[in-house]
Amino acid sequence: MDRRIKGNIVTIIESMAKQSPPHHFEFSDPFWVLITTILSHRTKDSVTDKAARKLYERYHDCKGLSKAKYDDVLGIIDKVGFKREKAKRVIDAAEIICTKYSGKVPESIDELMSIRGIGRKTANVILSDALGIPAIAVDTHVQRICRRIGIAKNDNPFDTEKALMGIVPKNMWIGLNPMMVEFGKNICRPVGPKCHICSVREFCRYGQKRLNETAKK
């Protein structure tokens, strides 16, 4: 990794934050954040939030959702990707939270990942954004930004998470993922990135290369 990135990581994060609008969270309650993240895989945020909100309005808490009928949940989350699998998973997750954890979302990554449908990224989102426990979730936006800047050496999210944990001060871990998600949606887009207005382009090898290529045309 470029030494300039390590030495300027705080500046890089603060600069990205200035170009990132506030991230919308449908819920602050840890249980409903957990349910929302299970629903979110390969589904647009607007669709995920609407489905999760309908589940909340119908079942209210983990006890209610744990007793829900599969077909009823399936109908409520009809627009969500992989709806049949996710309908079962949210009911199962609710039952586990109620019976094994007395209605309280566990605060360790291993316990969270033991729940079917929750991977490492999802667990880190719950820890950081719902429970206030420092963690860094690496999704497609974070992975893309880190690869372009030069923080990530490959496309392995776990390696990227370790790289970020090694250079980002711990007091900046909470909120890092949602901020970078918004930066990825608005500036460092997968297609048509706005390198010409990017506030961190001086540190970004991808952005510098792209701008140089444009200047030569």
Could you read off the pLDDT of 191-206 as tens digits, one per residue? 999 999 999 999 998 9
What pLDDT shows up at residue 211?
A: 85
pTM as predicted: 0.91
Nearest to 49 by CA among 33, 36, 30, 58: 36
**Which residues does 28 contact at the CB level (< 8 Å), separation at least 6?**
130
What pLDDT shows up at residue 174?
A: 97
What pLDDT shows up at residue 75?
A: 96
By 3-state DSSP, what share of the chain in percent is helix, strand and coil, each rounded to 5?
Answer: 65, 0, 35
For the chain (217 residues), the mean pLDDT of every run of 10, in chain order, is 87 97 93 94 91 97 97 96 95 96 96 94 95 96 96 94 97 97 96 95 90 76
Q: Are 81 and 34 part of one and the same domain?
A: yes
When divided into structural domains, the chain yields a total of 2
Note whether 98 and 92 are within 8 A (CB). Answer: no
Q: Are 123 and 83 part of one and the same domain?
A: yes
What pLDDT shows up at residue 137?
A: 97
**Which residues does 29 contact at the CB level (< 8 Å), separation at least 6?**
130
**Can you give the residue range of the structural domain that contains 8?**
3-22+138-216
